[in-house]
Structure 1
């Protein structure tokens, strides 16, 4: 990679109900993120954390607006993040956004899409995050960002950045799916999103999954990688808020990151849902930093 990597901290906890995920960016910094990428020979600039709304604990724990918890705060945060990512790309740098919960993807991808006509998205996650308010069992917006980016949902969410329809369904690849709500399953079948469940990863192997993903998205003018650490098995990444057993292994994930690095197709990235308050000795942040090392070109020899 010949571009400067610019790190943008996105300490948002409004998309779900567990504090601590807003500390994920600093946990990754503490785990040596900047030093790890610099050691590969990549130039890194840390832009610091963006400023979001203050957390009102009473509202944070109880607020639900039309099936959308903390809608105002999530929208404000994502609007700010959208502009920061936009500035980073305008400056010719590679945006690496570290969260924060997965609702921040609405801000990240809204900023990225301003620079690409036909953006592809790799959603590396245990969940599809394809709910709308009516289908969500929790009202947590971190389960809705990809659907909002497609253009469905509350107007405040689909119009982040001042426009809608950021991602086409045919430009999305879901990898690691193992916990989908009924509404999400129905939607995936109806619109035909390319999806690799854990069963398919087991059958095909991660090498084939990533090679097929690269081939599927290679004609796009940009590709965004959205990596939720709960894609990995919770034995490996315990410090995340929505653990689902039976996930991708750490080694499989390293291979995925190595293959994506070699392909050169990824033009922006975010890594989300590291929560040090429920972690064990910062294990999840350390694992996340290791994966980022592989993505940016770290090799054994």
Structure 2
């Protein structure tokens, strides 16, 4: 794993349905993300926060809320993430709402095209985020980034990163899903997205889900994790704008992160949708940082990597 880490704050809730995710990067810093990662022997550089348009809080236009502002924020994220990857550093994007995964992952995909690496995206989330303007009832673009990455969406979003589609659906593994809109279900199915929903995890266990999600990850694979904090059950992570009951427990989430760490292939990370406005004494940020620590190799015992 790359020991040189760059933190990039993206303080915006431009794509969300509630305000507050713009405070997420600072909450993660308050929860000592820098100190925790340095404690694992990592070289951490905090690049500060990106800037972009303010949230005008307007209704949808032609099925999209804040389309141009979302595009500007995602272009900034793309450029920042790509620059860190070009310097052979491991970027951690501190969100911000999950629409920003579009900019981050399009940059990772561009980097993989340039370096000849395979890409595997693990999308840890309560939601599939595979909506389109025709399907979404809200127009909130944080419900659309995976669809946009796969080429379903407006040109101003799908062309970020320079290739359409930025990724293929078969490169994505979604884990923890438990809230998918009716029309979105059909699109997920037709696109061939591989989803390990909570029913699968209930029946087969997190271990089986992660073994399949990480299958064929090898030394030439760039592993990107897009961690939406609402992936977690709201009992342990109340500080999100879109809570969905019945998510992974603390131990299930720890196992998920530890199995990713065991691959040694993690190369970029998003931490998204943390909303301090809904949190209790920064509890959710602290849980998120604890899980990120496991993602970067904290374990009870010394373990061999694959």
Q: What's 1:67 paired with?
A: 63
Distance 1:74 1:245 in 2: 28
Partners of 1:12 and 1:104 within 8 A in 2: no
Note the alpha carbon deviations across 1:243-273, whole angstroms, 9 max, x for none: 0011111211111111101112222110100
Q: What's 2:126 paired with?
A: 126
| CA-based RMSD | 1.4
Partners of 1:3 and 1:92 within 8 A in 2: no
What is the 5 A alignment of 1:185-196? 185-196=185-196
Partners of 2:2 and 2:90 within 8 A in 1: no
Distance 1:219 1:7 in 2: 24
Note the alpha carbon deviations across 1:154-175, whole angstroms, 9 max, x for none: 1111111333211111111110
Note the alpha carbon deviations across 1:46-97, whole angstroms, 9 max, x for none: 1111111123xxx31x332211001111100000110000110011100111
Distance 1:216 1:125, change over 3 A: farther
Note the alpha carbon deviations across 1:196-227, whole angstroms, 9 max, x for none: 11011011111111111111544863221111
Partners of 2:230 and 2:240 within 8 A in 1: yes
Give the gaps of 5 or more residues in structure 2. 302-306
Instruction: Give the TM-score normalised by structure 2.
Output: 0.94
Q: What's 1:112 paired with?
A: 108
Equivalent of residue 93 in structure 2, options 78, 83, 97: 97
1:139 Cα deviation (Å)?
0.3
Distance 2:299 2:37 in 1: 12
Partners of 1:171 and 1:217 within 8 A in 2: no
Q: What's 1:202 paired with?
A: 202
Name the SS for the 1:108 alignment partner.
helix
Distance 1:128 1:111 in 2: 20
What is the 5 A alignment of 1:79-90? 79-90=75-86
Give the gaps of 5 or more residues in structure 1. none
What is the 5 A alignment of 1:9-24? 9-24=9-24
1:16 Cα deviation (Å)?
1.2
Instruction: Give the TM-score normalised by structure 1.
Output: 0.95
Distance 1:114 1:161 in 2: 6
1:108 Cα deviation (Å)?
0.4
Distance 2:277 2:230 in 1: 15
Distance 1:296 1:33 in 2: 12
Distance 1:67 1:125 in 2: 23
Distance 1:127 1:271 in 2: 15
Partners of 2:127 and 2:178 within 8 A in 1: yes
Distance 1:148 1:251, change over 3 A: same
Q: Does 1:178 align with 2:174?
A: no
Q: What's 2:52 paired with?
A: 52
